[in-house]
A = this chain, B = another copy of it.
Amino acid sequence: MCRWIAYTGPQIPMSLALIEAKHSLLVQSERSTMGAEPMNGDGFGVGWYSPHMDTPGVYRDVRPAWNDENFRDVTAHIRSRMFLAHIRATTGTAVQRSNCHPFRHGRWLFQHNGLVPEFHLLRRDLLFEIGQNFFDSIQGTTDSEVLFHLALTYGLETDPPAALSRTINTVESHMDRHGIEGELQFSAAVADGETIYAVRYANKGTPRTLFYATDLDVLKELDPHLEAIPEGSIVVVSEPLGPAMTWEEVPPGTLIRAGRGGVDVEAFRPD
């Protein structure tokens, strides 16, 4: 339903990956090739970390990314060493900024491609599972924001993989209880400014695609201002940014950690 990208590595202008790459997120907003829908025009967002700020910045709007002039200028002028960005194709919930990804809580950013099946039947029960101390930061009405706040309730800030597992487990339990048999799709990224955790999971069927690349020389070629890219640059994406880089497909049921130490891959299952 949506497309997203997450970057960590040396500071680069965010527009490099979001706008200038051959199959950038902006291009995907009009012509996604691997998404459930070719068009992702129901709002967008970008969240990024800056050296001088404790909390990440977030810029979200309801316009399609492709016709927001501000998006181009803001992402070209901000150089960041870690950022997440998302373009949305709503499955019915309102097109409003508070439903745009990434969502933020303190130092944490979260974005999601997928869905909780028959969420309207589960919404109330799932909200009930969210702790009082996280409840008030819910600003919108998406399943994605609820998933993020479940993970926060389950300890995302101390053990992200465990919190994400328990989140999925909780959703599946409520689905069982309601007799809901659809596909739970969860291709998501969460970041704290140091590490990006990305998950590719579905309770059945094939999970939404997820790829990563560590060979980013192509980005350097795109921008004459960029100096040599040091080791450790990583891009995680819903679909590849172009043919020039080598992309690794993340297998179903997998969590990856991307940070200064490179990419770690481990199994992910609800728990």
Residues on A facing B (Cβ under 8 Å): 13, 30, 39, 41-42, 48, 50, 52-53, 57-64, 67, 69-70, 73-74, 76-79, 90, 93-98, 120, 123-124, 127-128, 130, 132, 135-136, 138-141, 225
Contacts and interface: CB of A to CB of B under 8 A. Distances in A.
Contact of A77 (B48, B127, B141): B48
Contacts of A67: 41-42, 62, 90, 95
Closest 9 pairs (CB-CB, A-B): A57-B77, A57-B73, A96-B96, A67-B95, A120-B136, A124-B135, A50-B77, A59-B70, A52-B225
Given A98-B94, A120-B136, A135-B123, A57 B42 contact: no
A39 B42 CA distance: 13
A17 to B, nearest CB: 16
A42 B124 CA distance: 28
A53 B70 contact: no
23 contacts: A13-B52, A39-B41, A41-B41, A52-B79, A53-B76, A57-B76, A57-B77, A58-B73, A59-B73, A60-B69, A62-B67, A63-B95, A67-B90, A67-B95, A69-B97, A74-B74, A77-B78, A94-B96, A94-B97, A94-B98, A98-B141, A124-B136, A127-B127
A108 to B, nearest CB: 15
A120 B133 CA distance: 10
Nearest to A130: B124
Contacts of A132: 124
A95 B66 CA distance: 10
Contact of A63 (B30, B63, B139): B63
